[in-house]
């Protein structure tokens, strides 16, 4: 009888352990979307920055978890811990004739700095020079931050409710990159696009160039911008 009792106790212990293991497996169900591990997925150029179709714009986390990062739509992030170094978005401003116009701009994170490197080396412009720029041939430069008092909410608005164009452009002037890339990306002059050097939140150096706006080819004729970037090595 004692042997039978011990056997029954042993079987009960195994059954209880099985219940525990089953419970653990259930808690970590791989089919449960709340339990799956997040994976960073970067967008590819051209990027949609239309005020209506993607109001939050596109943010760039250049170094994500010590790996090469990339762009995400701010309104639809692929990971919850995404932190942008710079973001580009478009809002609408009211022009003097009362019409609305799209006004795209870059805004940097408060811990990020940048410089228009093409103002340091005036011969360094366009995509070929962008590709060839390395730590070995880069000239001395100084990076700066966006102005602390940049604030779109404080701007006067017109009859449409959108910010008055001239005031909007003045506010953009407080940004290092801001809208200073736009004219070169939108003209017919070859290789005049400025090259930007960006110091990320981690202290790494990134080179960035806006090659075409509106981008062509792109899914639609408007709303997309072509941006290229890489680490300076």
Q: What is the DSSP string of 192-207?
A: ---EEEEE-TTS-EEE
156 φ/ψ angles, rounded to the nearest 5 degrees: -65, 145
- Same-domain check for residues 13 and 67: no
Cα–Cα distance, 105 to 68 (Å, whole number): 24
pLDDT band at 225 (very low <50, low <70, confident <90, very high): very high
What is the rounded CA–CA span in Å between residue 23 and residue 18?
8
What the block records as the tokens of 193 is 């696009």
The whole-number pLDDT of residue 36 equals 57
Residues 7 and 86 grouped into a single domain: no
Q: Counting Cβ atoms within 10 Å, is residue 113 exposed (0-12), middle (13-18) or buried (19+)?
A: middle
Q: Which domain holds residue 214?
A: 37-231
197 and 160 within one domain: yes
Mapped onto helix, strand or coil, the DSSP state of residue 85 is coil
Task: Identify whether residues 65 and 9 lie together within a single domain.
Answer: no
pLDDT per position as a tens digit, 30-49: 454 444 578 999 999 999 99
Give the least confident one: 16-30, 115-129, 131-145, 207-221.
Answer: 16-30
User: What is d(CA 92, CA 108) in angstroms, rounded to the nearest whole number?
Assistant: 20
What are the Cα distances from residue 10, in Å, to 2, 13, 15, 19, 22?
A: 12, 5, 9, 14, 18
Does residue 69 share a domain with residue 160? yes
Q: Tokens for 151, please give them.
A: 């604030």
Residues 110 and 166 in one domain: yes
Measure the CA–CA gap between 65 and 81, rounded to whole angstroms.
Answer: 10
Whole-number mean pLDDT of the chain? 89
Q: Into how many domains does the chain fold?
A: 2
203 and 147 share one domain: yes
- The answer to whether residues 94 and 188 belong to one domain is yes
Judge whether residue 214 has pLDDT over 50. yes
Is the domain of 168 the same as that of 180? yes
Sign for the CA dihedral angle at 34, 37, 83, 182 comes to: negative
Residues 56, 23 within the same domain: no
Let me know whether 62 and 125 are in one domain. yes
Given this model, what pLDDT does residue 221 score?
97
Q: Average pLDDT, stretch 161-172?
A: 98
Looking at the fold, whether 97 and 196 belong to one and the same domain comes out as: yes
Tokens 């994170």 belong to 109
Q: pLDDT per residue over 103-138, tens digit each?
A: 999 999 999 999 999 999 999 999 999 999 999 999
Instruction: Tell me the CA distances in angstroms from 78 to 37, 41, 49, 61, 152, one per residue in order.
Output: 11, 6, 17, 12, 27
| Residue 23, pLDDT score | 35
Is the model's pLDDT at 28 over the cut of 80? no
Residue 68, pLDDT > 80, answer: yes
């Amino acid at each position: 009888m004692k042997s039978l009792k011990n056997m029954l106790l042993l079987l009960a212990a195994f059954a209880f352990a099985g219940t525990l293991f089953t419970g653990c497996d259930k808690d970590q169900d791989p089919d449960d979307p709340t339990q799956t591990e997040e994976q960073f997925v970067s967008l590819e150029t051209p990027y949609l920055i239309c005020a209506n179709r993607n109001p939050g714009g596109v943010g760039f986390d250049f170094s994500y978890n010590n790996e090469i990062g990339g762009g995400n739509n701010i309104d639809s992030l692929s990971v919850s811990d995404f932190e942008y170094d710079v973001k580009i978005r478009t809002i609408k401003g009211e022009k003097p004739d009362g019409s609305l116009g799209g006004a795209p701009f870059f805004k940097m994170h408060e811990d990020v700095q940048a410089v228009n490197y093409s103002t340091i080396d005036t011969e360094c412009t366009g995509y070929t020079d962008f590709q060839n720029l390395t730590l070995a041939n880069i000239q001395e430069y100084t990076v700066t931050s966006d102005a602390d008092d940049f604030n779109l909410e404080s701007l006067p608005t017109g009859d449409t409710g959108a910010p008055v164009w001239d005031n909007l452009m003045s506010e953009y002037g407080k940004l290092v990159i801001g809208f200073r890339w736009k004219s070169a990306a939108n003209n017919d002059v070859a290789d005049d696009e400025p090259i930007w050097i960006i110091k990320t939140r981690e202290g790494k150096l990134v080179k960035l160039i806006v090659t075409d706006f509106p981008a062509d080819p792109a899914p639609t004729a408007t709303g997309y911008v072509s941006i290229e970037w890489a680490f300076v090595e």
